[in-house]
Structure 1
């Protein structure tokens, strides 16, 4: 009986499909979703693509470039439900933040990394930023203040999501000002049930919106008093 030829190991076989940047980013995202950013290496990426590791460098110079490409790819996936023109800005900003949160939970490993390591993760032409600046304008924020207000809104939402993704929000929600009582042991005190994260996020958005409403109302009163 004729022996079958041994199959070459992954990473040494000739690819039927040429490497592309899009294909590299897609493969990297699969690895990041499965094992995290720290576990991603160019060698593992080449194995995932059935490619020679050196061939990757014809398309991307290093791991950091791969991560930036993956972040741009995921950022371009952001979609928010279009609302009617008469929808209050409060509802629009709540929906925008919720849709952004959905994307963060779809790729938590990448998004947590991007939030903390890639300050340019959000670009001026990103769908999220475009929608946010339109909402800020609709809320009545003066044009001169719009960039700062939009930046602060992003910082607030990303801060909440970062704490949610890394587990800090659940831990902080269980902090108490005093140690456990005589009838409560330390394990019970530190292992309380996790808070409802959906409810916590809604509370965060309510707080954010209330703050912006108050600021806008104060500004209107100031302008009226000036007249």
Structure 2
């Protein structure tokens, strides 16, 4: 780890990612620069390159670690799949509200996400199995569910839901989750 003469403590990948994420949420992905990040960390900009190749690699890294920030409830085998799916949907919505700039960036730059691994996918696939979705249909079903919820979140973020009454967005979200649950097969 590189140690800055100014700060005297080694940089950590988590500190770099957390600070970069904060800067992205304050000004958008376009406003993030390695110089601004270095200033926020109180290090020489060159010391960042000991940890990350460039800004593109940094953005990819924070996008991929975003899934780990999803406040997922531990797998609770006693709960029905419907409750677990609802909990996952709400955790996803909280993440969108917490990191709207990065979430928007991810959905306009899908290349920064690598497949269906980690985070919500590790929770969603067992839920789909318990819901009776056949193994060969789970990836497509997961993609459709994600697209449905992401579209709803985009509509909410753009102000089309809850503009007059913020509680309307909450009601719309609950209606969408109810529709998803009713639409999945029963085991």
Question: TM range, normalised to the smaller chain?
Answer: 0.7 to 0.9
Partner of 1:207: 179
Please state how far the C-alpha of 1:123 moved relative to its aligned partner: 4.3
Structure 2 gap segments, 5+ residues each: none
Find 2:130's aligned residue among 126, 138, 149.
Answer: 138
Residue 61 in structure 1 maps to residue 53 in structure 2: yes
Aligned in 2, Cα 1:146/1:103: closer, same or farther, shift over 3 Å? Answer: same
Partner of 1:158: 150
Structure 1 gap segments, 5+ residues each: 1-11, 172-191, 221-227
Partner of 2:106: 114
Residue 43 in structure 1 maps to residue 35 in structure 2: yes
Please state how far the C-alpha of 1:122 moved relative to its aligned partner: 6.2
Q: Give the root-mean-square deviation of aligned CA atoms.
A: 2.5
Partner of 2:68: 76
Partner of 1:179: none
Please state how far the C-alpha of 1:163 moved relative to its aligned partner: 2.4
Q: Distance in 2 between matches of 1:53 and 1:59?
A: 11
Partner of 1:3: none
Across the two proteins, how many residue pairs are aligned to each other? 184
CA shift digits 1:71-109 (9 cap, x unpaired) = 233211223224643433222211111111112212222
Please state how far the C-alpha of 1:19 moved relative to its aligned partner: 2.7
Partner of 2:168: 196
Q: TM-score, normalised by structure 1?
A: 0.71
Q: Distance in 2 between matches of 1:83 and 1:22?
A: 25
Q: Distance in 1 between matches of 2:139 and 2:87?
A: 20
Higher-helix-fraction structure = 2
Q: TM-score, normalised by structure 2?
A: 0.84
